[in-house]
């Protein structure tokens, strides 16, 4: 009996661990697993079937001339899902004709019901918890400038640093985009002006599909800002059009009100999903300039 005591000890130790291990038979049955393919190959790598921050879409922005820190809170609305996050961005000018931006959602909370879970082929039976986002590195360079206009070249690289890929929050794959943006402003008085911008480019990301390892999309964005004294009202339309037609053609509209002081900006905005995107989003933010 003494020689068998160690076996009972191991059995007692391993039993609690077996309780913690997930049983994925429900997932195998729900998604008719073929018994061979890795579960990740079933996920759909497109904006319509991922979390709200999986595919960052750039705005048509002017050149950055100051060191800035953005801190934002976003509440996302989607039937069958609870979702909020914090967004941070650090902008640093590189001389007078270029700038560097680092962006990330350090904390995202999510909770999905069974219908959203199954639509996105999420791996957890009860998907709920916290995720951390991908680091986005952007750089722009001034190509042309006069008194009222500027032309910029922009490039962005999304790393694969985000978590909760198994629950379709972030893609766990790299992406990049590059574009040209043109901006023009019309000054009516010292207190009132309007500026507008247009962006065109290419958006590319890696997929887990056997026959299509990469998706290429046409990228576009437009913006119009109305400035009056310390306020401005901003309208943005942005999106891209992939070629796989699997929820890869998101289009977003947002309206944003900003109050500016010498070194601080406060903002409120509402974003509406027009195509291939699951969320309408309310935003409140603060920006510090150094």
HSE-CB of 147 using CA atoms within 13 angstroms: 2
**Domain presence at residue 37:** no
Q: Using the predicted structure, report yes or no on whether residue 17 has a pLDDT greater than 80.
A: no
Is residue 166 domain-resident?
yes
Q: Is position 282 within any domain?
A: yes
Residue 83 placed within a domain: yes
Out of 6-20, 62-76, 91-105, 240-254, least confident range: 6-20
Q: Residue 24: inside a domain, yes or no?
A: no
Number of domains observed in the structure of the chain: 1
Question: What residue numbers bound the domain in which 253 lies?
Answer: 45-289
Instruction: Kindly state the average pLDDT of the residues 6-23.
Output: 48
In this structure, is residue 3 part of a structural domain?
Answer: no
Which pLDDT tens digit goes with each residue over 270-287?
Answer: 999 999 999 999 999 999
pLDDT at 208: 82
What pLDDT is recorded for position 9? 44
Look at residue 236 and tell me if it is in a domain.
yes
Matching residue, tokens 């943005």: 236
More confident residue, 130 or 211: 130
- State pLDDT tens for residues 151-197: 999 999 999 999 999 999 999 999 999 999 999 999 999 999 999 99
Q: Is residue 35 part of a domain?
A: no
- Going by pLDDT thresholds of 50, 70 and 90, the confidence category of residue 212 is confident
State residue 45's pLDDT score: 94
pLDDT for 211 equals 85
| Residues 257/233, Cβ–Cβ less than 8 Å | yes
pLDDT of 116-158, one tens digit each?
999 999 999 999 999 999 999 999 999 999 989 999 999 999 9
Whether pLDDT at 288 is above 60: yes
Q: Are 213 and 207 in contact (CB under 8 A)?
A: yes
**pLDDT tens digit string along 21-74?**
567 889 999 999 988 889 988 999 999 999 999 999 999 999 988 999 999 999
Q: Is the pLDDT of residue 232 over 90?
A: yes
pLDDT for 21 equals: 53
pLDDT at 11 over 90: no
Range 94-105 average pLDDT: 95
Nearest residue to 250 via CA among 42, 45, 60? 45
Predicted TM-score of the model (pTM): 0.89
CATH number at residue 282: 2.40.160.40
């Amino acid at each position: 009996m003494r020689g068998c005591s160690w076996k009972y000890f191991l059995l007692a130790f391993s039993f609690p661990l077996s309780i913690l291990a997930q049983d994925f038979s429900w997932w195998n049955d729900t998604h008719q697993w073929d018994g061979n393919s890795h579960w990740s190959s079933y996920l759909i790598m497109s904006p319509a079937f991922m979390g709200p921050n999986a595919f960052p879409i750039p705005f048509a922005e002017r050149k950055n001339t100051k060191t800035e820190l953005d801190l934002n809170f976003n509440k996302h609305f989607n039937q069958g899902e609870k979702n909020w996050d914090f967004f941070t961005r650090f902008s640093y000018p590189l001389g007078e004709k270029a700038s560097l931006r680092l962006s990330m959602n350090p904390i995202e909370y999510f909770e999905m019901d069974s219908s959203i879970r199954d639509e996105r082929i999420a791996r957890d039976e009860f998907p709920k918890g916290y995720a951390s986002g991908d680091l986005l590195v952007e750089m722009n360079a001034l190509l042309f400038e006069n008194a009222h206009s500027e032309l910029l070249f922009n490039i962005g690289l999304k790393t694969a640093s985000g978590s909760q890929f198994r629950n379709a929050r972030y893609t766990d794959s790299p992406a990049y985009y590059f574009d040209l943006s043109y901006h023009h402003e019309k000054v009516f008085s010292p207190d009132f002006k309007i500026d507008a911008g247009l962006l065109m480019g290419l958006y590319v990301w890696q997929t887990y599909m056997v026959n299509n390892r990469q998706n290429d999309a046409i990228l576009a964005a437009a913006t119009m800002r109305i400035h009056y004294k310390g306020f401005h009202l901003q309208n943005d339309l942005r999106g891209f059009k992939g070629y796989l037609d699997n929820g890869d053609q998101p289009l977003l509209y947002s309206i944003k009100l900003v109050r500016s002081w010498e070194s601080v900006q406060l903002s409120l905005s509402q974003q509406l999903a027009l195509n291939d995107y699951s969320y309408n989003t309310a935003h409140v933010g603060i920006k510090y300039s150094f």
